[in-house]
Structures are given as C-alpha cells and as structure tokens.
Amino acid sequence: MVRCVVTGQQADGKSVVVFDGVRESPAIPLMPPGSEFIRLWGADATPTLPSDGTPPDQPTFFPPAGGYRFLFFTLPPESTPAGPVDDPAAALAELEATLPDMARWMEPENPGMHTTDSVDLDIVLSGEVWLELDDGAEVHLKEGDCVVQNGTRHAWRNRSDRPVQMFAAIIGATRA
C-alpha cells in the first residue's frame, strides 16, 4: 500500500491536487504470498502538458518505446512458497488480468529471468536483493542502492529472510 498524490491543472491554469489516496497491490496469482506490484502511474507515449491529472492509459505492465511506468514492487524471501494452484489456466488468465502482458517477457524455463525492451531505473528502498544476470553473475544490493537496467536479461532474487521493497521507473525503449 502506497499513498499517491496526483496534481493537475484546471482550465484557468491553476494547479490542483486531483487525487490523494492509497494504491494497493492486487492479489497476484502464481506468485508467493507477499509479492506486490503497485502500479502508480504511467503512459504509453510522451506526456503532453498541461495535464488535468487524468490517469493516462497503460494497458500493459511494461511500456512500449516512448512510454513509461512508475511503480513499487515487493518480493518476499525466495523461501516463501507459492500458494497452491488448483486451475493453472485460470491462474494464468488472472495473472494476465492483474499484470497485463508481464508473463510474455518471462522465461518459463528460468523462473524470474526476463528481458524487456526498456531502461529500468531501480532503487532498493528496504531489505536486500541479488540482481542475477547471464551466466549466474550476481550483484548484491542493499537499501539505498540503485540499478540502471539497460534492457539486459536479469532476475531479482531475494535470498534474505525478509521482504525487499523496490521502486522502479521503467522507460520503454527500442531494441536495435
């Protein structure tokens, strides 16, 4: 749960708060309890100002080239087991509805590994996490550490005994 304040401008140009409330993570099927993805803001194109503060359309989890996403995510320790799945097809459909198009970028044969067409600006807010790259290369990150992820194949691994919370600004890019 994260408080989010959104500003906008009225027709006369006056700045106003158009939203001040809490954004919560929906339940995420197929992920361990404690997993959270709180999508706060984003758009699929460069913003035009002034804005009245109306939330832009962002139909997919990852943005297209020129788009962006602003979010928090929490990963529980890797030792946290995923809940039981009675109907895998229904769980996948629910995952797609909750985090649209996210599963497309994931590698089923290498859980957690993914490569996106984006530049991700990540900050560890609390806890610690291991950034895994190709061939098992890893970087141990702690609170306050930052990562600029330039469209590389990676996974986040929480090998600690407590959740890790991270902030991400994801900017859609074009892969040559």
> Which residue's entry shows tokens 């804005």?
51
Domain assignment present for 15: no
Nearest to 70 by CA among 41, 100, 33, 99: 41
CA distance 6 to 119: 24
Q: Into how many domains does the chain fold?
A: 1
CB 4 within 8 A of CB 21: yes
pTM above 0.75, yes or no: yes
State both tokens at 11. Answer: 């027709």
Over residues 97-124, the mean pLDDT reads 93
Domain assignment present for 16: no
Domain assignment present for 52: yes
Domain assignment present for 89: yes
State both tokens at 126. Answer: 């609390």
Domain assignment present for 90: yes
CATH assignment of the domain containing 122: 2.60.120.10
Domain assignment present for 125: yes
Domain assignment present for 41: yes
pLDDT digit string, tens, across residues 66-109: 999 999 999 999 998 877 777 878 888 888 888 899 989 999 89
pLDDT digit string, tens, across residues 29-75: 778 888 999 999 999 999 999 999 999 999 999 999 999 999 999 99
Torsion angles phi and psi, residue 147, rounded to 5: -135, 135
Give the residue numbers spanning the domain of 130: 2-10+23-172
Domain assignment present for 17: no
